[in-house]
Structures are given as C-alpha cells and as structure tokens.
Amino acid sequence: MKIIRQKKDLQKIINKIKTFSFVPTMGGLHKGHEILIKRAKKRNSNILVSIFVNPKQFNSRKDFKSYPRNFKKDVKILKKLKVKYLYCPNYKDIFSFKTNNKIYMHWFSKRLCGKHRPGHFKGVLDVVNRLLEIIKPKYIFLGKKDFQQLTLIKKHIKKNNIKTSIISCNTLRDKNFLPYSSRNINLNKSNKKLASIVFNTIKNEKILIKRKKMQDINFSSLKRKILKLGVKKIDYIESINLDNLKRAKKYNENFNIFSAFFINNVRLIDNF
C-alpha cells in the first residue's frame, strides 16, 4: 500500500490511474469501514482511502482532540484489505488551495445534527468537496448511518455537476443492534449495553407506530423512557420522511427514526 501525504504526489498517481473508488474516513477504522472498502473493491480495484481528522467539522476543540486516532491499527486493517492507496494529508495540503466549486448547503443541513452542531455540515462539505476536487474519483462510498451527511453530499455533488457517483452503503451493526462507529471505542461494556438497549427501544417504537397505524407520530414518552434508562442527554429523536426529508407525521410514510444522544459524553447517532 502506498501512503501518500501530499497532493502533489497523489496527483502523479491520479494522472496514471484515472479511475478510483474513493472511501473518505477520519481513521479509527472499524468493521463498518471494512464493508465500505469491500463494496468499493467490487466496483474497481483501485481503492483510495483517505484518513484526515477534519478540524472544521468539529464544533468543539475537546471533541476534536478526543476523536479516536490509531494510525498503526488503521494501516494494518487497510493492508489486510489490500487497499492500494492511502492519502493522509495535513491541514495545509487540504485547505490551502482555492476551490472551483461553491459549497451548496441544502435546507436539510439546518435540521437534526445541523441544529445541534453549528458549522458541522459546512465543515464536512468543505473537506469532501476539496477531496473530490483533488481526487476526482469515479465513485465515492459513504455509509447510511450518517444519512444527513450522505444526503447533503449528494445535493452538493448534484448542484455542482461533479462527475463522481455516490454509492451509499447500509449500516453495519453488531449482534446487539449497535451500529459500528469510531466513537464506540470510548464506550465501556456497560455503556455499549445501554446504547444497544436504547437503539432497540427506538426500533420497537417504529414497529409500534406501524402496528398501531399512528396518525400523529410523537416521541415525548419515548424520550422520557430513554432518559429513565440512564441516558444523560438527548439531542433529538425525530421521524424523517426519506423521500421529502420533512418530519414524518404518519405511520404509512416512508420514514426512519433519527436519533442523537449522549452516553458517557460520547455522542451517538443512528437512523433506521
């Protein structure tokens, strides 16, 4: 595996290879990333993975500092998966050039995580746009766990006529329904147990909404239940219609329940 630290070196490889399958990450690689990489491999064997912990998408310095980093382990995982290229730039390499595209912030960026993490999606779109301008991949692979991020990147790509196709990948979960996430490393065994109880409680609520044919979906009693389980803070629990991105009110809409809450100061998000 070639480890590339500067875009001028990457450029030489890009000029030769031309079609890449690109998997952007912030490191802290886990089984969910492995699935993205395996999917990418099926499309095209020239896999380029990036590892860059983007400070612009963290709305607190403390969160940025405590974000899980384990470069050695990441490299081992990527080598095992036979990834050919790893780009791990520094801040200057990414942010010191003038971009061609303008960041497009769709109104959905103001909802859910956008409401609770000011500047987060602007930071995500800024870095992803820069990576796309540098790499110009044929495909980019992104997970549905970050549905809001995925949707906003889709909107930005469409608006700017970027030639990259997005391949969205299903969320990978452990046997207790806990989604794989880099942040899980900061959870101990009992935190993980609580997190999986919470996600299962939300899952059951969705089943109930459908079974009871609810006409006015409301999560106030679910929120109380989750706080009673021991969750210290809930940012949101909301039903979102996946077709029009608005709040889903009725059981028969095509919706997912989106949630963000804190366990042991670790912010967990999911949707299903």
32 contacts ligand PAF (rule: CB under 6 A): no
Distance CA 255, CA 221 (A): 19
The one among 146, 205, 238, 270 contacting ligand PAF by CB under 6 A: 146
- H or E stretch at 257: strand 255-263
State how far the Cα of 272 lies from the Cα of 256, in Å rounded to an integer: 5
> What does DSSP say about strands 255-263 and 233-241: parallel, antiparallel, or unpaired?
antiparallel
Q: Does 128 bind ligand PAF (CB under 6 A)?
A: yes
- Residues 195, 189: Cα–Cα separation, whole Å: 10
Is residue 164 involved in binding ligand PAF (CB under 6 A)?
no
Dihedral over Cα of 167, 145, 153, 73: its sign: negative
Q: Quick one: which segment of 10-18, 19-27, 61-69, 249-257 binds ligand PAF (CB under 6 A)? A: 19-27
Q: Which of 25, 46, 181, 239 binds ligand PAF (CB under 6 A)?
A: 25
Q: Check residue 270 for interaction with ligand PAF (CB under 6 A).
A: no
Site for ligand PAF contains 198 (CB under 6 A)? no
Q: Which of 77, 124, 134, 152 binds ligand PAF (CB under 6 A)?
A: 124
Helix (H) / strand (E) containing 260: strand 255-263
Taking CA 22 as the corner, what is the angle to CA 58 and CA 156, rounded to the nearest 5 degrees? 60
Question: Quick one: which segment of 23-31, 76-84, 96-104, 244-252 binds ligand PAF (CB under 6 A)?
Answer: 23-31
Chain residues in the site for ligand PAF (CB under 6 A): 24-26, 54, 57, 124, 127-128, 146, 149
